[in-house]
């Protein structure tokens, strides 16, 4: 039997996030082989706005992707993360380091629809709030970059991540 899904949904009318919730999410993420976990503050994939507290451990591979019809914002809560933007051929177009507000680095970004991007956690872990439009439709929500390694291709992922972090 595989690991439980790395996501839980809020079931309350008011979603409250405090340090205890963040610590629980961090523990859940670090206990998983893929070092990722998320709390959906929205109650359903059909909600018109999706807000998620996401935890990614250092070394987590987020396959480059784009959201065809959605903008996306990221607000760092804790830790450090690199955002890399790519052109249609997989060349790096931009990159920026995000960290919590007290760091003096960028702590909020908004990505327009259609931008190829990835998030690379630089800390153990990186915790952030991601917001985008719903509803979630797996086949149209986002597309993965054809030039990026598949999740099962560990050698390809290692080469790809080394090139990003060089």
Give 91-105 pLDDT, tens digit per residue: 999 999 999 999 999
Against a cut of 0.85, is the pTM above it? yes
For residue 80, tell me if it sits in a domain.
yes
For residue 2, tell me if it sits in a domain.
no
Q: For position 1, what pLDDT does the model report?
A: 37
Q: Which domain holds residue 159?
A: 7-165
CATH (domain of 161):
2.60.120.10
For residue 147, tell me if it sits in a domain.
yes
* DSSP code, position 101: G
For residue 1, tell me if it sits in a domain.
no
For residue 106, tell me if it sits in a domain.
yes
């Amino acid at each position: 039997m595989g690991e439980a899904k790395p996501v839980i949904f809020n079931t309350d009318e008011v979603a409250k996030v405090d340090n205890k919730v963040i610590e629980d999410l961090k523990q859940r993420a670090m206990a998983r082989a893929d070092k990722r976990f998320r709390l959906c503050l929205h109650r359903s994939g059909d909600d018109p706005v999706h807000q998620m507290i996401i935890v990614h451990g250092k070394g987590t591979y987020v396959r480059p992707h784009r959201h065809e019809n959605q903008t996306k914002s990221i607000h760092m809560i804790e830790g450090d993360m690199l955002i890399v933007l790519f052109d249609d051929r997989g060349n790096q177009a931009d990159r920026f380091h995000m960290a919590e507000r007290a760091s003096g680095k960028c702590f909020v970004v908004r990505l327009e629809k259609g931008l190829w991007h990835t998030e690379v956690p630089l800390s153990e872990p990186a915790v952030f709030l991601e917001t985008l439009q719903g509803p979630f439709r797996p086949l149209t929500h986002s597309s993965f970059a054809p030039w990026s390694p598949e999740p099962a291709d560990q050698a390809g992922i290692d080469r790809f991540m080394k090139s990003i972090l060089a």
